[in-house]
Chain A
């Protein structure tokens, strides 16, 4: 009998989705899909609101990376008030960058230590009770504690720059509303161990070394698990440097050829299309010049280290050189190397935080500027999970009349589906019994992309885990519910 296995929601990713794997009568995988089952409707929610509210309102999209939405919306609103990345004040840009690198640092630390490391430490075939953060804490308290303190440090940088722990107000159209308090600068640079920038740089390097050591012992798994060729897209600085806050759009193919040549992101609609598929609420972006079938691309740490020519901070650059040497300078298409790339970026973020804190312009200077009012604004940046697009139109009454957001996870939609299919074929095909380890392998492949599928309401009783078994005609054979 043919059957369909449904895993819903995928665990240990932000938000929830479900995975379906179709098996034929011989147990061969015929189709596998990552479905996004919640429709967020945020783009409609924001229509009719005054444009200056957007940077605060859009943070409500996500509880894990609100700063990315806050800053992308602020960049778009800069354009509305006539301020460009070239004309924004140095103090405003540096404060925003500090906020952004604080966000990257805490989000990457959270992902590696508390979402991915249990899989790495205990293996994807470990019993489920061992594959969680408590097991990690019990067996490696130092690692778990470091992860929490790195996240706390990043959160404190965000609070000092955004003004509030949640729904910060630091960035406003045309600039920022305050410079950094000298006491905060002193605390972050010279605070008692371990909560200071120098210690965070050291710990980020320790985490990278932890991964490299793991890689040495588990090369086959790390190099081959869910590896597949793809295009890669991100913003890079005009000189080709890794830049997570601002730059031009670049894409490379699997051989490293440039297929999007450092374009001004204000023209993104000329180069990027979005395909709709009936079985998912999430769209499928693609490069128009390569078409729907060949034009899909990956975003995020792996893609960024494939598009960038170098990293403008010394310790991360050294790590980048070793990383690039592993693939002889060619693009890296190994999905589990996403963790390696993420940890190099974590180190870069820590170095950038330390550098920005030492810059005198972050303490004083012009906070806000204005220019010629525009009716349309586009803001892009590299969020922890990848390229984030915010695009707005504003009417004559200053109200938002159109919003289009392409979030990082949407950009990674097709790659995640590709990864799920590869893993499903490898682990599920021809098996008589579907084990927990096999199902977890599918989830591990998705988790490498650190997806933020939605920010569902989390009110108690609203997050069940539903596993449904259906035959080829979608008739339910079995269903299990876990809370």
Chain B
């Protein structure tokens, strides 16, 4: 099974960097623990874009990771289903929309999850806020457990903290 963990966000917008930071740190954590990570790949982006539909079509399981403005929990992982959009802007392309293009254009539907990490500060400034940093740490611990069990256990449920 091929897995993609794909974080996106703008590192110059404080907590909007949560998706990218998540991927960097998760990759480091897993590489420290395992000798080879042959079935997991990592990628980052400034924002989702149309060609990401082609990218995810090559994986069996995909985890999108993004900062969340309105998430009530510290973090959350939810299963995604394809969703067409009526109003389309390259700056508000949702993962479910990318999934929809993937299904329509390439005829495949990878198992896809959205990892949402709650953020608080969005000014033109670098560095995560302390609260977002704490949420990121919690999300990384939980996701590491989650992804490890994913390799061993075929059935898993969306997790809500």
Contact = CB atoms under 8 A, between A and B. Distances in A.
Given A11-B87, A63-B10, A148-B54, A459 B124 contact: no
A152 B58 CA distance: 15
Given A114-B50, A137-B105, A455-B10, A461 B91 contact: no
A102 to B, nearest CB: 14
Nearest to B20: A166
Nearest to A454: B91
Contacts of B92: 458, 463
B112 interface: no
A14 B90 contact: yes
Given A66-B46, A133-B50, A166-B45, A459 B122 contact: yes
B67 A16 contact: no
A227 interface: no
Given A45-B12, A166-B44, A455 B91 contact: yes
A462 interface: yes
A42 interface: yes
Contacts of A461: 68-71
Interface stretch (A139-147, A259-267, A335-343): A139-147
Interface in A1-46: 9, 11-16, 40-42, 44-45
B86 A12 contact: no
A268 B135 CA distance: 48
Interface in A243-288: none
B84 interface: yes
A405 to B, nearest CB: 13
A129 interface: yes
B88 A11 contact: yes
Contact of B69 (A63, A128, A462): A462
B11 interface: yes
Given A9-B89, A133-B101, A151-B51, A458 B45 contact: no
Given A134-B101, A457-B13, A45 B125 contact: yes
A482 to B, nearest CB: 7
B121 to A, nearest CB: 10
Interface residues of B, number: 42
Contact of B88 (A12, A138, A460, A462): A12
A456 interface: yes
Contacts of A63: 10, 46-47, 90-91
Given A16-B89, A63-B91, A458 B54 contact: no
Interface residues on A, range: 35 or more
Nearest to A57: B12
Given A110-B50, A147-B50, A151-B50, A459 B68 contact: yes
A290 interface: no
Interface in A134-193: 134, 137-138, 141, 144-145, 147-149, 151-152, 155, 165-167
B9 to A, nearest CB: 7
A465 interface: yes
B124 A45 contact: yes
Interface string A42-78: 1011000000000001001001101000000000000
B21 interface: no
A450 B158 CA distance: 39
Given A60-B12, A114-B50, A457 B122 contact: yes
A463 B91 contact: yes
Given A457-B13, A459-B119, A460-B70, A133 B47 contact: no
Contact of A134 (B15, B71, B91, B100): B100
A84 interface: no
Interface of A: 9, 11-16, 40-42, 44-45, 57, 60, 63-64, 66, 110, 114-115, 128-129, 131-134, 137-138, 141, 144-145, 147-149, 151-152, 155, 165-167, 455-463, 465, 482
29 contacts: A9-B89, A16-B91, A40-B124, A41-B124, A57-B12, A60-B10, A63-B46, A110-B49, A129-B86, A132-B86, A132-B88, A134-B85, A134-B97, A134-B100, A137-B101, A148-B50, A152-B51, A152-B54, A155-B51, A166-B46, A455-B10, A455-B91, A457-B9, A457-B67, A457-B122, A458-B91, A461-B68, A461-B69, A461-B70
Given A110-B90, A132-B85, 7 more contacts: A11-B88, A16-B91, A45-B12, A60-B10, A132-B84, A151-B49, A460-B69
